[in-house]
């Protein structure tokens, strides 16, 4: 595949003719809609003549809620090694809580496509927030831990899951070692039945990084306890924060470089966002809230508002501004250029894989580029 950045005066037909490919392939790869308008600065994924090349292996994972569109899931599964179903919860006494909607159809569909379904465990409370009191109650009580792990094992055997992903956030610093012990106990119990255990890690850049997101995660100990880890390398730009790149490559690289001092590369997957944010400006902390958008949707917003897309070389991320109803907006998102650079980072350091938060929106160009870059295993 080739990446081409749209210039003033370009059209789908002129780009296709210049590259000796069909206009239909440009439209298909990039999910263009009639009348196939383009934005200046838009990065297009173009089909090229195949050439033999050595492709490194990649474990591809995507998180999905149980209400995902069956069509979107079916389109995405051929590109996934693992499907992380989001999510199971638990009570303060370690009773397992099932997702609000049936997950059986997702598990069955995953296996049809040769994708390993993964049970995602989170400490979300009734308000949908990560609750560190739930974490404290369970990880510090041996009987609660054993009870929860036993129920997870039974659920996996009953439902057909292949592994569990532990996604605990906002862990108290005082619970750090107890959380690590919980992960280790989970792995020891499930591995004897052929199941895997992964753990999601907040994006630290040093062992002693302060903050609620970081202090409860011991990279070295968790890397040793789990079969694999996911670096949640996104959300620098977030809904209630200032307008900036969601996953700036300069910061993502710092996280990876630190992680590699604590965890073997063959255990590490890089987190990749399948979304962007649209901020109304000016940003006022405590008042401004960005709107979450898809990466394909971002391009369409730029086209609708005749906005030129720029590319931040330091963050390796696309962005643009537009004005609607007298309000200025700034949009940061991912495109095939920013994704290619993240793929290059995976190859540079020989990482295990890539994990997408999340796959609720279909983004064909991303998956075609992955298929052209790696051997998905």
Residues forming the active site: 169
Partners of 59 in the β-ladder: 353
Residue with tokens 């906005």: 307
First to last CA, the chain: 20
What number of other Cβ atoms are within 10 A of residue 220's Cβ?
13
Distances (CA, A) of 64 to 132, 292, 328, 356: 23, 16, 32, 9
Lookup: tokens for 135: 């974490």
> What single DSSP character describes residue 286?
T
How far apart, in whole angstroms, are the C-alpha atoms of residue 52 and residue 95?
52
Question: Which residues are CB-contacts of 320 (< 8 A; sequence separation ≥ 6)?
Answer: 39, 41, 302, 307, 308, 309, 310, 330, 331
How far apart, in whole angstroms, are the C-alpha atoms of residue 280 and residue 327?
7
Partners of 60 in the β-ladder: 354
Q: Do 275 and 363 touch, CB atoms closer than 8 A? A: no
- What is the rounded radius of gyration, in angstroms, for the C-alpha atoms of the chain? 21
Question: Which residues are CB-contacts of 67 (< 8 A; sequence separation ≥ 6)?
Answer: 101
How far apart, in whole angstroms, are the C-alpha atoms of residue 46 and residue 128?
40
Question: Which residues are CB-contacts of 16 (< 8 A; sequence separation ≥ 6)?
Answer: 22, 23, 25, 26
Q: Do 330 and 243 touch, CB atoms closer than 8 A? A: yes
Nearest in space to 29 (alpha carbons), one of 300, 363, 371, 370: 363
């Amino acid at each position: 595949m080739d990446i081409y950045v749209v210039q003033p005066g370009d059209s789908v037909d002129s780009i296709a003719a210049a590259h000796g490919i069909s206009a239909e392939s440009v439209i298909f790869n990039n999910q263009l809609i009639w009348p196939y308008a383009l934005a200046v600065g838009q990065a297009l994924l173009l089909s090229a003549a195949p050439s033999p090349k050595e492709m490194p292996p990649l474990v591809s994972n995507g998180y999905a809620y149980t209400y995902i569109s069956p069509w979107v899931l079916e389109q995405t599964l051929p590109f996934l090694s693992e499907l992380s179903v989001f999510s199971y919860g638990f009570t303060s006494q370690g009773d397992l809580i099932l997702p609000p909607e049936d997950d059986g159809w997702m598990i069955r569909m995953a296996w049809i496509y040769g994708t390993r379904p993964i049970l995602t465990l989170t400490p979300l409370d009734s308000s949908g927030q990560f609750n560190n009191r739930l974490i404290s109650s369970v990880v510090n009580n041996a009987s609660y831990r054993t009870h929860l792990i036993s129920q997870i094992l039974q659920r996996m055997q009953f439902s057909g899951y292949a592994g569990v992903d532990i996604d605990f956030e906002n862990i108290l610093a005082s619970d750090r070692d107890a959380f690590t012990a919980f992960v280790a106990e989970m792995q020891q119990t499930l591995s004897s039945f052929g199941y895997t255990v992964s753990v999601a890690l907040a994006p630290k850049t040093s062992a002693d990084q302060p903050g609620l997101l970081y202090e409860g995660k011991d990279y070295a100990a968790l890397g040793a306890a789990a079969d694999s880890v996911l670096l949640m390398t996104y959300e620098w730009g977030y809904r209630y924060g200032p307008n900036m790149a969601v996953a700036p490559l300069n910061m993502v690289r710092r996280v990876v470089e630190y992680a590699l001092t604590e965890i073997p590369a063959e255990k590490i997957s890089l987190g990749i966002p399948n979304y962007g944010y649209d901020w109304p400006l000016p940003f006022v902390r405590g008042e401004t809230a960005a709107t979450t958008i898809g990466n394909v949707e971002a391009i369409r917003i730029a086209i609708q508002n005749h906005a030129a897309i720029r590319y931040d070389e330091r963050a390796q991320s696309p962005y643009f501004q537009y004005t609607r109803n007298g309000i200025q907006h700034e949009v940061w998102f991912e495109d095939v250029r920013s994704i290619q650079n993240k793929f290059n980072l995976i190859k540079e350091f020989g990482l295990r894989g890539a994990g997408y938060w999340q796959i609720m929106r279909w983004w064909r160009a991303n998956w075609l580029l992955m298929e052209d870059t790696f051997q998905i295993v």
